[in-house]
C-alpha cells in the first residue's frame, strides 16, 4: 500500500492535450475517483497510471518510487497494480479459477497456497461455486466480480477501476457499489476509480478529482465538492441546485440568507457574482405572500416519493429549484426564505 503523487502530468496526442498539467496527491489507502464528462481525459490519466500510455511531461510517483516521467517509464507489469476493465477483460481460454489465479502464478505462488488464495478471493465476491466455469458462462455482474477477485488475489499497491459499472444494470450497480466499498474496507488498497457518473463517485470515493478538458478543476472530498464547488461548471455537474447572480459576496465565501436575499434586489446590471443555492436551503411558504417577501411562481412540480421538486420562477426572471413536502398548484404564488448561498468563481 502506498500513496500516489502526480506532478504536472501532461499527455499530448499530436496537437491535442488529453491531460494538461494534472497534479494530485493520493494518500495511501485512499479511494479516489476521477470524475468528468466523456472526453475529459480521465481514462487517459488512468492508463498513464497503469503504464499503458507514456507521459508527455510531468512525473508520477508511487510512494517514493518514480513510475513515469518524460525519460523514465516503469512497465505495467512492474508497477504492482491491478485493474478492473470496463469490458472485464477475462481471458476466454481460462476457467474462472485460472483467471483469478493468473497473477498468483506470475508471482510464483503454487500448490495449496495457490488454491487457498483463489478460494479466498472467490469467496469474497461470492463466486466459489463458479470456479470451474468459463467466463463465457457467466452474467455481466458475475464477470465483473471475477475481474474484481482477480484484482484482490494479490496485494496490489494500487487498484485501478475503469468505469467498472458502465455495462451493468441499475440494480446490479447498487450491489456492486456495495462490493467495491466493502472491498476497499477489507483490503485498504489505494484505489483510483474512473467514472462519469457523479452519484457513483460521491457514494464511493474519499476524495474526487473533477476533470474538465484535460484539466483538474477541483480536488476535494464529496462533501466539500457538494457544499463548496469552485466554479459554476462544477456546481452544475454535482448535485442539484440553482445559480443566481447577486451584487455582494466574493468567490469561495458562504453568505447568509439575508445577505443573499438583499443581493437579489439590486438591478441586474450590478449583479456580477454567481452564487449557488441548493434546494434544501430554500423554504417555501405556500400561504399568500406579503409585499416584503421574496415571491415566486410555481412553474412545474415533480413527485419524488418522499417530497415534491418545485421548479420556481422568481419575479426577477431567474429559475429556482426547491423541495416541498406537499403538492402545490401549478401557477400558484409562494413566499420564499433563502437560508444560505455559496459564492462561485466565474468560469474562465
Partner 1 sequence: MSPSLTQGSQHRWLLTLLTLTVVLLSLAPSLRLLVEALSDLTQGSNAPLWRVLQSASTWRALSHSLYTSGLGMLIALALGSLFAFVITLTDIRGKAWLVFCFMLPMMIPPQVTALSWLQLFGPASPLLKSIGMAPPLGSPQPLYSAEGIALLLGIQSAPLVFLALRTSLLSLPRELVEAARISGARQTQVWRHIVLPVTRSGLVAGAAMAFISSLGNFGIPAMLGIPAGYYVLPTLIYQRMASFGTGVLAEMAALSLLIGVLALAGVALQQYWMGRSRFGLVGHSGRAHDFSLGRFRALVTVLLVSVLLVILVAPLVALVVSSLVPAMGVPLNADTATLNAYHEVIGRQGATWRAMRNSFWLAGGASVVLMLCSLPLAYRLQRLPARLQNLTLSIIELPYALPGVVLAIACILLFVRPLPVINVALYGTLGLIFVAYLARFLVVCLKPVSASLAQLDPSLEEAAQLAGAGPWRRLATIVMPLIAPALFAGGLLVFLLAVNELTVSALLWSAGNETLGVLIFNLDEGGESVLASAVSVLVVLMVASLMLSLSLLAPRLPKGVVPWQG
Q: Provide the CB-side half-sphere exposure for 242 (13 A, CA).
A: 23
Burial class (CB in 10 A: 0-12, 13-18, 19+), 252: exposed
In the complex, least distance from residue 216 CB atom to partner 1, rounded to whole angstroms: 24
In angstroms, give the least distance from the CB of 25 to partner 1: 22
For 33, the grid coordinates are 475517483
10 or 154: CB nearest partner 1: 154
Q: CA 47 to CA 39: how far, in whole Å? A: 14
* Beta-bridge partners for 190: 158
Closer Cβ to partner 1, 81 or 294, answer by number: 81
H helical segments located in 165-264:
170-187, 198-204, 222-227, 232-237, 257-263
Cα-based torsion angle of the residue sequence 297, 302, 304, 308 in order, rounded to the nearest 10 degrees:
20
Q: In the complex, what is the shortest distance from the CB of residue 91 to partner 1, in angstroms, rounded to a whole number?
A: 6
> Which is closer to partner 1, CB of 106 or CB of 327?
106
Judged by CB, which is closer to partner 1: 85, or 323? 85
For partner 1, the closer of residues 47 and 281 by Cβ is: 47
CA distances 300 to 131, 189, 327, 329, Å, are 53, 46, 11, 9
**Contact yes or no for 227/342 (Cβ under 8 A):** yes
| Residue 118: count of CB within 10 angstroms of its CB | 24
In angstroms, give the least distance from the CB of 50 to partner 1: 6
Residue 103 Cβ vs partner 1, minimum distance, rounded to whole Å: 4
Least Å from the CB of residue 47 to partner 1? 9
Q: Which is nearer to partner 1, 150 or 207 (CB)?
A: 150
**Least distance CB 156 / partner 1 (angstroms):** 8
- Residue where the block lists cell 485501478: 160
**CA torsion angle 57 62 64 68 (round to 10):** -30
Q: Which is nearer to partner 1, 75 or 112 (CB)?
A: 75
Residues that bind partner 1 (CB under 8 A): 50-52, 75-83, 85, 87-93, 102-103, 106-107, 136, 150, 154, 160
For the sheet with 207-212, list strands across it.
81-84, 158-162, 190-195, 31-35, 207-212, 215-220
- Beta carbon nearer to partner 1, 106 or 268: 106
Q: What is the DSSP letter of 240?
A: -
Shortest distance, position 134 Cβ to partner 1, whole Å: 9
Amino acid at each position: 500500500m502506498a500513496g500516489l503523487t502526480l506532478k504536472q502530468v501532461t499527455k499530448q496526442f499530436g496537437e491535442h492535450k488529453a491531460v494538461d498539467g494534472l497534479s494530485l496527491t493520493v494518500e495511501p489507502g485512499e479511494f479516489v475517483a476521477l470524475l468528468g464528462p466523456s472526453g475529459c481525459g480521465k481514462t487517459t490519466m488512468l492508463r498513464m497510471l497503469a503504464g499503458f500510455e507514456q507521459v508527455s511531461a510531468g512525473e508520477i510517483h508511487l510512494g517514493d518510487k518514480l513510475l513515469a516521467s518524460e525519460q523514465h517509464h516503469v512497465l505495467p507489469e512492474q508497477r504492482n497494480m491491478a485493474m478492473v476493465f470496463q469490458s472485464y477483460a477475462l481471458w476466454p481460454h481460462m476457467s474462472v479459477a485460472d483467471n483469478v489465479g493468473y497473477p498468483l502464478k506470475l508471482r510464483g505462488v503454487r500448490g495449496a497456497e495457490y488454491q487457498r488464495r483463489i478460494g479466498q478471493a472467490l469467496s469474497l465476491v461470492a463466486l466459489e461455486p463458479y470456479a470451474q466455469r468459463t467466463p463465457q458462462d457467466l452474467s455481466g455482474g458475475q464477470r465483473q466480480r471475477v475481474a474484481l477477485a482477480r484484482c484482490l488475489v494479490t496485494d496490489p499497491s494500487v487498484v485501478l477501476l475503469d468505469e467498472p459499472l458502465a455495462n451493468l444494470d441499475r440494480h446490479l450497480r447498487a450491489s456492486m457499489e456495495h462490493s467495491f466499498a466493502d472491498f476497499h474496507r477489507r483490503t485498504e488498497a489505494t484505489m483510483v476509480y474512473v467514472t462519469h457518473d457523479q452519484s457513483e463517485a460521491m457514494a464511493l470515493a474519499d476524495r474526487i478529482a473533477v476533470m474538465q478538458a484535460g484539466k483538474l478543476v477541483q480536488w476535494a472530498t464529496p462533501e466539500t465538492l457538494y457544499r463548496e464547488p469552485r466554479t459554476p461548471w462544477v456546481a452544475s455537474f454535482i448535485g442539484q441546485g440553482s445559480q443566481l447572480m447577486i451584487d455582494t459576496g466574493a468567490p469561495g465565501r458562504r453568505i447568509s440568507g439575508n445577505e443573499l436575499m438583499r443581493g437579489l434586489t439590486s438591478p441586474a446590471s450590478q449583479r456580477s457574482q454567481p452564487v449557488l443555492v441548493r434546494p434544501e436551503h430554500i423554504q417555501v411558504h405556500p400561504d399568500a405572500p406579503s409585499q416584503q417577501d421574496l415571491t415566486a411562481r410555481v412553474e412545474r412540480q415533480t413527485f419524488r416519493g418522499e417530497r415534491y421538486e418545485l421548479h420556481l420562477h422568481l419575479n426577477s426572471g431567474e429559475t429556482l429549484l426547491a423541495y416541498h413536502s406537499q403538492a402545490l398548484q401549478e401557477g400558484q404564488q409562494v413566499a420564499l426564505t433563502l437560508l444560505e448561498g455559496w459564492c462561485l468563481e466565474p468560469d474562465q
